[in-house]
Structure 1
Amino acid sequence: MKAIVFDEHGDIDVLAYRDIDTPELQPGEARIAVRACSLNYHDVFTRRGMPGIKVPLPGIPGCDAAGQVAELGPDVEGWSVGDRVLVDPVRWDRGTGKFSMIGDTLWGAYAEYVVVAASQLIPLPDDVSYEDASCLPVAYGTAHRMMITRGEVGPGDAVLILGASGGVGTSALLISKMRGAKVIAAAGTDEKCQRLADLGADETINYSEVDIARYCREQTGGLFGGGGYDVVVNFTGGDTWARSLRCVRQGGRVLTCGATAGYDPPTDLRFIWTAEMDIRGSNGWQRSDLDELLRMVQARELVPVIDSLVPLPDGVEAHRAMEERRFFGKIVITADAPV
């Protein structure tokens, strides 16, 4: 099969579009002809190598996939060749408790085919496109759990979202608006800020020109004068972390589900205790999140924000655009291998 492959960890030049042996099916597995694979910053971490996580080499990135069943392994029941499916990236071995994930510790979906456990398959309705479905698990699933299950965002909340122009950010914006919240969305260019406003953001901040903490004080007042936001969403970390703590109102909460700009930032404990804020972590998604998101997309209550559709042979350049943050929403790789 054709795939985007890396034989060693490193910079983007380790990625190559080439032939690689299609993995054999084991009992309980299915081979999926990938129709769409959306990109996530997790793919960059996989390519670079992550401390404590052993990625098999050669490796194939790509956590999010939608496609058609191309072949079924022994003992797989309830599915047929040609079925349209969304893949839950996570594979749990209920007997051993072992956790694995495609595009991470298992070969991913920057490829014509991906092999997954039958338990990872979710039926894909005919009226939900492969491209829309592929956006859901990592970004939208994570945002759904972070904003609703963990974050309890609701009507009247003022929500500041940092890094709002990416996959998790745009989905967090859409979900917050659906919940009746006021959204202040931060991005690094005026163009991205305008697109966030077009998506429904009530206010936008170009953080390359405006300090978010100063903007917060000017717009809402100081901490002891009732200022700040009910919810601050920060999944970037790095040098944004300490500044974002200054934007939380008394009794407010910080939501985080990642650290794309650095996982060990300096912090400022004074604001944590003074504001009596809650810091709530959210790790991934559950199947119920994906089921609800599929329902929302099918009902057109939610329309995933797609930056571009890129054919598999151009997948390395798509990965580069994501790493360099030259995108808005989700970049999706498409493929058309036979079933």
Structure 2
Amino acid sequence: MRAAVVRQFGPIGQLPIEELPDPVAGAGEVLVDIQATAVNFVDLLVITGKYQFLPPRPFAPGKLPTGIVSAVGPGVTMLKAGDRVLTLAEHGGYAEKIAVPARDCFVLPAGMSFAEAAAMSLAYDTAWFALCERGRARSGETVLVLGATGGVGMAAVQLARAYGLRVLAGVSSAAKAEAAIAAGAHGIVDLSLPDLRDSLREQVRAQTGGAGADIVIDPLGGDVFDAAIRAVAWRGRLVVVGFAAGRIPTLKVNYVMLKNMEVSGLQVSDYRKRAPQEMAHCLREIFRLYEEGKLRPAPPVPVALDGVRGALQSLQDRSAKGRLVLMIGNEATI
């Protein structure tokens, strides 16, 4: 099989495409012919050796590939050849085939393409855990989603709307407001206004009767976090998802105490490893809402396996337009 292979951690431009022996499904495993795998920012960290969990080399990067079960190993009864699945593989997605435990595979809804499933992975499950598990969202509450037009942000907007929350979308410019409203946001918080520390809070209070946001989902960090913490309602919850703005912020915890608020963090890979039943419930919910027409992933941008280095480079320099998905197998369609 063909695969992108990490033999030494280093620049993405050195990532080779090689021929490797086909994997074989062992006991409790299935062999999956990969059809589509998203290209994620976390892959940059893995390839360059900067991620906190690194597999033994050599390996193919690429998380959560989708594909078709082509063979089942001894002891597998819940899946059969021909099943269309999303896998929870932590690496191995930048390849034509992968052997993965059957318990880590989830049959796709009939109407969901491989590319859609790959594009939704990591974004929608991250957003679901931030909103529903860490944020303990309840219908009728107000959630402020920062970075609302990014992958996780857009997923959070759609999920919050589906669960009956009032959604405020934090956007980096007024030009992005239309996309956030189209995704389901009820209101906009413009993060490009002067004096962000005060202007963010003023915008949120103006749209919540002065109360603030019950939940804030923050994939940005930096100055945005510093401003957003002031817009949290009494007994509100702020969930830290990432630091796309570049700076890891600090927090004076007396402010947390005075407002009876909670600040928590989310690393979704831990749920795949430590709480598989919760992850299974998350995916069932995402698939259910998709089938009900309440989740509408943006059309993925297809990339051939040979183009993976260019795709990673566009993520690195932030020039990527849309959700990049490697289209690998013959059955893969957008």
Task: Name stretches of at least 5 consecutive residues in structure 1 with no aligned partner.
Answer: 90-101
1:32 matched residue in structure 2:
32
Q: Residue by residue, what CA displacement relative to the aligned partner does 1:8-45 show, whole Å, maximum 9, x if unpaired? A: 22333233334333334332222211111123322222
Higher strand proportion, which one?
1
Deviation at 1:307, TM superposition (A): 4.2
Query: Among residues 190, 198, 203, which one is paired with 1:214 in the alignment?
Result: 198
After TM superposition, the structure 1 = structure 2 runs for residues 224-263 of structure 1, keeping only pairs within 5 Å, are 226-261=210-245
Q: Secondary structure at the match of 1:36?
A: strand
1:43 matched residue in structure 2:
43
TM norm structure 1: 0.83
Letter in structure 2 aligned against 1:6: V
Aligned equivalents of 1:338 and 1:243: distance in 2? 47
| Range 22-31 or range 322-331, more displaced | 322-331
Task: Name stretches of at least 5 consecutive residues in structure 2 with no aligned partner.
Answer: 272-278
Distance 1:36 1:255, change over 3 A: same
Aligned equivalents of 1:338 and 1:131: distance in 2? 11
1:63 matched residue in structure 2:
63
Q: Secondary structure at the match of 1:255?
A: strand
Contact 2:38–2:323 under 8 Å retained in 1: yes
Number of corresponding residues: 321
1:110 matched residue in structure 2:
94
Contact 1:33–1:338 under 8 Å retained in 2: no
1:302 matched residue in structure 2:
295
Aligned equivalents of 1:295 and 1:220: distance in 2? 31
1:148 matched residue in structure 2:
132
Deviation at 1:149, TM superposition (A): 2.8
Percent of pairs with identical residues: 29
TM norm structure 2: 0.84
Aligned equivalents of 2:226 and 2:326: distance in 1? 35
Aligned equivalents of 1:232 and 1:10: distance in 2? 35
Q: Secondary structure at the match of 1:164?
A: coil
C-alpha RMSD of matched pairs (Å): 2.8
Distance 1:245 1:217, change over 3 A: closer
Letter in structure 2 aligned against 1:273: M
| Range 319-328 or range 26-35, more displaced | 319-328
Contact 2:30–2:102 under 8 Å retained in 1: yes
2:312 matched residue in structure 1:
319
Q: Secondary structure at the match of 1:6?
A: coil
Deviation at 1:116, TM superposition (A): 0.7
1:139 matched residue in structure 2:
123
Aligned equivalents of 1:273 and 1:319: distance in 2? 42
Deviation at 1:51, TM superposition (A): 5.8
Q: Secondary structure at the match of 2:129?
A: helix
Q: Residue by residue, what CA displacement relative to the aligned partner does 1:142-167 show, whole Å, maximum 9, x if unpaired? A: 21122123312233322221222222
Aligned equivalents of 2:170 and 2:320: distance in 1? 15
Deviation at 1:253, TM superposition (A): 1.3
Letter in structure 2 aligned against 1:240: V
Contact 1:33–1:337 under 8 Å retained in 2: no
Determine whether 1:161 maps to 2:145.
Answer: yes
Distance 1:301 1:221, change over 3 A: closer
| Range 138-147 or range 15-24, more displaced | 15-24
Deviation at 1:276, TM superposition (A): 1.9
Distance 1:305 1:76, change over 3 A: same
2:114 matched residue in structure 1:
130
1:98 matched residue in structure 2:
none
Deviation at 1:270, TM superposition (A): 4.0
Letter in structure 2 aligned against 1:175: L
